[in-house]
Structure 1
Amino acid sequence: MELREPPPEQSQPEGCLVVAVRLPVRIVVLVLVVPVRMVWDVLVAAGRLLRDTVLRPFGRALLWLGRAVFVWPCVGLWRYVVVPAGRALAWLAAVLVGVPAVWLYRWVLTPVGRALARLARGAGAVLAWVYARVLSPVGHGLAWLLTGVGAVLAALGAGTYTAVAWLARHLLVVPARWLYTWVLAPAGRAVAWCVRGLGWLLGLLVTGAGLALYRTARVLLVLPALALWRWVLAPVGRFLTVVAREVGDALGHAWRIAGRISRAVGRALGTLFRWIFVEPARWVYRSVLTPVGHVVRDAVLRPVADGVRAVGRAGREALATARATVRQARAEARRMLFGGPGRPLPADRREPPGAAARSLGNSTTALTKD
């Protein structure tokens, strides 16, 4: 499947107003922006030089000073004071608190808890026996007695309840129903009909007044505002939009052109500085100072260095000879005062012979000696 390139966007035709505004605006903006861009480039170069030569070394020095004043003492304090103190406190806490607490739990609290649990189980068994053998029969008996008393009272009050209910129905319920059906309901319907009619009348009045106010506001406010927007504000807004867009485009073009001009001026100044100062200094160094330095090195410095090395070598040899002479004189004086060293006795470096083995003809006992 071949990929088709999208068709190029067709540029909309520009009006004469855009063309008439664009050229003067770009010329004026270019004249105004070039000095600003050159000053901006100079400030950027100065800022980079200041950052590389002053701020960055100063920041590194401050960083090292901060480490030396704050970080390293804190690290040393943590490593050599706080950590050993914490370990010592942990060991003391384990020895003084942990071990006694474990001993107390194991040999005091655990036996006491087990004893209390056994006591609670025994008390629970006693209470269960009391409930099953004493309280439950007593409760069942009281329930049977109260059930009988309630049945007797219900039989006595049934007739009285029926009479009271008949009197309440004929004295209260029937008159209240007649009053609601023939008096209150018709009166409520009449009041509701009147309220609906009054609401319809009020709605009609409000609708008429609202329609009149709408017509008046439309004629007095909306139509003039619409005409003002359509014939005054919209054309002025379009003109201002065109001017603002052209000014923005002109600023962008002028900023880029000013950058190129500033770069060309900077390169020209750099070339001029190189021709005036750098190239003459390089020629003087290469053509004058370097040959003079080589001559001075070959004619003066190298012979002087060879002479200094020869003098140092002769001095070292003289010192070695004097040191050997002094050592020999000291040895002669020691020999005259204390005598020469004695000859060492020759040491027998042979292995000692082993004991002879016993035999019948060579015995060491007293009975077999001849």
Structure 2
Amino acid sequence: MPGARSAGPSGPARRSTRSVLLPAGRGLGRLGTVLVVVPALWCHRCLLTPAGHAVAWLARGVGAGLARVHACVLRPIGQAVAWLLTGIGAVLAAMGIGVYTAVARLARCLLVLPAHWLYDRVLAPVGRAVARCGRGLGWLLGVFGTGVAMALYWALRVLIVLPALALWRRVLAPVGRFLAVVTREVGDALGHAWRIAGRISRAVGRVLGTLFRWIFVEPLRWVYRTVLTPVGHLVRGAVLRPAAEGARVVGRAVREALTSARDTVRQARADFRRILFGEPRQPAAVDRREPQGPATRTLGSSTTALTKD
């Protein structure tokens, strides 16, 4: 019934929806994912995160380098200076306690204390500040990359994915179902109309064929069999065959007359040429140095055409 059919999508509509519209929607969703989401995630994973890690690693490397400079340069220099001063102090102790004490205090004041103060007040704070700046820069880049990625993700989701999904659910799917129902109904109506028209046209064609056969074909067949065939046989036996025989006889006579006239003209022309110019000269025989008649040259003969008299 029409009401039952319009209650829900039929088989062809459901099949068309599943085989055309749903794959198209999935294809659009996958296309948006491939063109937007995947590049954004790839940018976050392959560019921003490695850049933050690189900055953090650089900061850690700078801090480790400063620590290594302190451990490998400043401390050995201080130890060497202390050892040197110890040796000098021992020498000065040997030379005199007063000189040693003065030199030791002077070296401590001029070298050890400034170097210790430089390490404690300058190098160590600078190293810590550089390390903290590196870590802060890495964290800032990570936060910025994450924020940009999330902003791109939500912007694309709000601007493309959700409108496309709403368009599919609210517009394309209902329109597809409606078009499927309309197409099915129109197809059924056209099928019924085509079948009815076929039956009507077949009946009309049979009637017209019968009328044409009765009006034209049967009278023409009767006229051909009863009138034209005997008349044709009579005309062929009484007129055409004698006319053909007479034409052949006349043609043969004409050909013979033309042949005799051609021979007469040729003979008269030859006689006239003979009267005007006389007899034509016969061509002189030319000695071709070849044996004539039976005396032909053979392979076993010792006489050739060139030595024969």
> Normalising by the residue count of structure 1, what TM-score does the alignment of the two structures yield?
0.31
**Greater relative CO (CA pairs within 8 A, separation 6+):** 1
Give the TM-score of the pair, scaled to structure 2: 0.36
